[in-house]
Structure 1
């Protein structure tokens, strides 16, 4: 087996140790949004028209879009902890237009719909920016595009194919950059070439986005209850409002509603049918201290694009408004039993690996320190992009399985779920992507064996010029392969 650039150009161990010496286990985005309001827990019985379970992006977008559709509706949102504390406050802040985790993944599953899905994805990203402006959400929104970089020679062919495909379809804004052009954009000895997508990606401050959406929702009359985990979903119509049809029950209260939206992301679904549809995969992140003027000049990167590399185990990185660099990805760790646990967030070997890879990419930044490290669980499903549906005779709608690309797609999910609850066919609900469900994961111990074998195979492919082994080829043939 071969090596990758991260083994061939590994920094000294002392560089890694020094960079992590003063790092604290804490989510930068949430630390950077202080003094958030303390919202009440659910107490007693409430009657509403729509109840939303989950206070992340999916739930918040759904609440605001529901308010836009019906200015008089009584809407309540209920969150187990606090708004935006989980994936919505822990991600990299990349808002990608793709609804399918990349065109190739969508093309392999819904070739007859991919152009439509691309169009809807771009329209959704445009609408997201317009909503943020309309609702005066201060979320550091930047429509700066994204640069995908090759770090191994065999990946240059992938870039050529990508750019050629876009040109054949007449897609604007996909620019192939050679080595010199890439170095002019971002100076790194690891970068051999790149593709720049100029309009299909924006950056956002995840914590500010969640906080701003919650504020906008409350200003428009949405009730938000925090620290109120839902224990049960009832659709027997036996609640205090006999005609409501849906009831969510917590330890200290309940809400009766006409309709319900489940936006629980990686956490266990309140619907048995979805119990095996997602698995939690842990992703790890580092955040640097602000760069000095000299450090910024050493790497260029003046256009502030989001960056990622092309390996199966890829990294993502971006700048913050105050001049830091977020660097995450590569390790994707599944724990037996599919549990979500706080102790899984502190994994020193993953943080050390990220720090090593960071200084392989930017050796000119040696001496820079990381101030924050954190992790979060990604709601991974077998088709690598969100799935949607309704249940309980159309009274309940759900969306989950965003697989790490949900910052923008959650807004689209809100529209889909409201369409489903409305019961009137739309362009969105007619999509095969919306109508079809992915294959569920098998129960343990098969799930852990399969997931970890797949992860091993992806790492092996990265060390073998991208060549996929029999397992990966079989998964590709079954529609379970990851190709984004």
Structure 2
């Protein structure tokens, strides 16, 4: 087994200690935005559509529903606060891809890939137009994304819109780890995740959506008209329901084994000085991601902090979502170490925030869609870390399906098919951890995938960091 650049050029433990010494266990994005309070539901109400979940998928569904039909009454229920979970904790990469990258899509739906790429770009353009139309303050930057190779075997993977050799990629962002890169200039925007959630809620409210926070849904019943029961005594009776609960347990039994929660870890630096920014020459502010199975993603915030996340993808036995899983010192120390390997010229930078969040991972890496209860209940889930942009597309799919519409979106094989479910415990934990170890070995063996990974590839199952 070989070593990776992050092992060959590991910084001193004392440097990691110093950088993490004053770090707060708190999500920077959520600390950086004011979130208006919405009341809990404690009465019985009637609506044409009830949306369950106050993250991106739910908020986009509410907004798009009112844009399609301003007279439709829409209620949105959130168990905690708007955007508190994955939608307020992610890296803020708003990507055009609906398939978790080109290669994943080509492996699964090669005949549709050109169409899926076009629809993904149209969806991203639609998000940008929405931001502009409603004057949404979300730190939107259509900078694109730069994929980088940090090991020799990854160079051949750098195909796409704009190939950059070693000199060219280091001219864009100066890291001694970069050997080549590919810059997709159109397919990604940077956004402030929590601001996006708050602003979507503002727009939804201004369009007439009733939002209720601290209103955890405990039941969904009815053969015709649906009744949604809320912890605390309230109910919503609605003609249609859109489920956007993602990483949390589905209200539909058919989806209970379709996703697993995988924890992703993040660091945020202090704001960089002019000299520090000059040392890394990151002038075009692209999102960055390296190219191993266990990869890092990183970007600049509006005030020139660097968010640095990814690599570890941790699954806990039982598939539970728990706050205790968010504190994992070994993952944050590993990220700090890899940060200083990537940018040794930033040796004095410290981290102000550390956090984690659970990703709704499914075996095909991207969202799946469906309806239940005679077409009255729609769902979309399984975004596997790329939901910032794809959640708007998912909202349109859910609304199309509830309307019984046959169109380009609903006729896609990607939309009509479901992924392979995960096995129940203990097989799930055993399998997921075996795959993680196999991916780590591949990263240490010039990317060569073993029999286990090749078998899972062949049957359409996967796992990613």
TM-score (norm 1): 0.95
Match of 1:471 in 2: 452
Cα distance in structure 1, aligned partners of 2:464 and 2:317: 24
Q: Deviations over 1:90-109 (max 9, x none)?
A: 00000110100011101111
Match of 1:64 in 2: 63
Asked if the contact 1:104–1:483 (Cα under 8 Å) also holds between the matched residues in 2, the reply is: no
Equivalent in 400, 424, 445 of residue 405 of structure 2: 424
Cα distance in structure 2, aligned partners of 1:15 and 1:420: 53
Q: Deviations over 1:434-480 (max 9, x none)?
A: 11011110000000000000000000000000000110011111111
Cα distance in structure 1, aligned partners of 2:316 and 2:222: 33
Match of 1:413 in 2: 394
Asked if the contact 1:278–1:379 (Cα under 8 Å) also holds between the matched residues in 2, the reply is: yes
Cα distance in structure 1, aligned partners of 2:167 and 2:18: 32
Equivalent in 293, 296, 315 of residue 296 of structure 2: 315
Match of 2:415 in 1: 434
Match of 2:245 in 1: 264
Asked if the contact 1:476–1:482 (Cα under 8 Å) also holds between the matched residues in 2, the reply is: no
Q: Deviations over 1:91-150 (max 9, x none)?
A: 000011010001110111111111110110000000010011111110001000010000
Is 1:139 the counterpart of 2:138? The answer is yes
Secondary structure in 1 matching 2:80 = coil
Cα distance in structure 2, aligned partners of 1:343 and 1:185: 39
Match of 1:49 in 2: 48
Secondary structure in 1 matching 2:139 = coil
Equivalent in 332, 341, 360 of residue 322 of structure 2: 341
Asked if the contact 1:386–1:402 (Cα under 8 Å) also holds between the matched residues in 2, the reply is: yes
Cα distance in structure 2, aligned partners of 1:73 and 1:468: 51
Q: CA deviation at 1:483?
A: 8.2
Equivalent in 298, 304, 312 of residue 279 of structure 2: 298
Asked if the contact 1:265–1:401 (Cα under 8 Å) also holds between the matched residues in 2, the reply is: yes
Q: 1:50 to 1:124 in 2, by over 3 A?
A: same
Is 1:176 the counterpart of 2:156? The answer is no
Match of 2:180 in 1: 193
Aligned counterparts, 1:12-23, within 5 A:
12-23=12-23
Match of 1:222 in 2: 209
Structure 2, unaligned stretches of length 5 or more?
Answer: none
Is 1:247 the counterpart of 2:246? The answer is no
CA RMSD of aligned residues (A): 0.9
Match of 2:121 in 1: 122
Is 1:212 the counterpart of 2:199? The answer is yes
Cα distance in structure 1, aligned partners of 2:236 and 2:36: 22
Asked if the contact 1:82–1:227 (Cα under 8 Å) also holds between the matched residues in 2, the reply is: yes
Cα distance in structure 2, aligned partners of 1:110 and 1:157: 23
Match of 2:84 in 1: 85
Cα distance in structure 1, aligned partners of 2:86 and 2:18: 29
Q: CA deviation at 1:38?
A: 1.5
Asked if the contact 2:300–2:306 (Cα under 8 Å) also holds between the matched residues in 1, the reply is: yes
Match of 1:26 in 2: 26
Q: CA deviation at 1:236?
A: 3.5
Q: CA deviation at 1:423?
A: 0.5
Which structure 1 residue ranges, 4+ long, deviate > 6 Å from structure 2? none
Cα distance in structure 1, aligned partners of 2:165 and 2:222: 58
Match of 1:101 in 2: 100
Asked if the contact 1:3–1:463 (Cα under 8 Å) also holds between the matched residues in 2, the reply is: yes
Secondary structure in 1 matching 2:310 = strand
Secondary structure in 1 matching 2:111 = coil
Is 1:448 the counterpart of 2:429? The answer is yes
Cα distance in structure 1, aligned partners of 2:88 and 2:358: 11
Asked if the contact 2:123–2:389 (Cα under 8 Å) also holds between the matched residues in 1, the reply is: yes
Asked if the contact 2:294–2:464 (Cα under 8 Å) also holds between the matched residues in 1, the reply is: no
Is 1:375 the counterpart of 2:356? The answer is yes
Q: Deviations over 1:410-439 (max 9, x none)?
A: 000000000000002011000011110111
Asked if the contact 2:79–2:213 (Cα under 8 Å) also holds between the matched residues in 1, the reply is: yes
Cα distance in structure 2, aligned partners of 1:138 and 1:55: 19
Secondary structure in 1 matching 2:282 = coil
Q: Deviations over 1:134-170 (max 9, x none)?
A: 11110001000010000001111111xx23xxxxxxx
Structure 1, unaligned stretches of length 5 or more?
Answer: 164-173, 238-244
Secondary structure in 2 matching 1:113 = helix
Asked if the contact 1:299–1:362 (Cα under 8 Å) also holds between the matched residues in 2, the reply is: yes
Cα distance in structure 2, aligned partners of 1:48 and 1:433: 30
Asked if the contact 1:105–1:483 (Cα under 8 Å) also holds between the matched residues in 2, the reply is: no
Q: CA deviation at 1:400?
A: 0.2
Match of 2:220 in 1: 233
Cα distance in structure 1, aligned partners of 2:283 and 2:7: 28
Q: CA deviation at 1:481?
A: 3.5
Q: Deviations over 1:346-390 (max 9, x none)?
A: 000000000000000000001100000000000000100000000
Match of 1:385 in 2: 366
Asked if the contact 1:473–1:481 (Cα under 8 Å) also holds between the matched residues in 2, the reply is: no
Cα distance in structure 2, aligned partners of 1:72 and 1:112: 39
Cα distance in structure 1, aligned partners of 2:386 and 2:416: 20
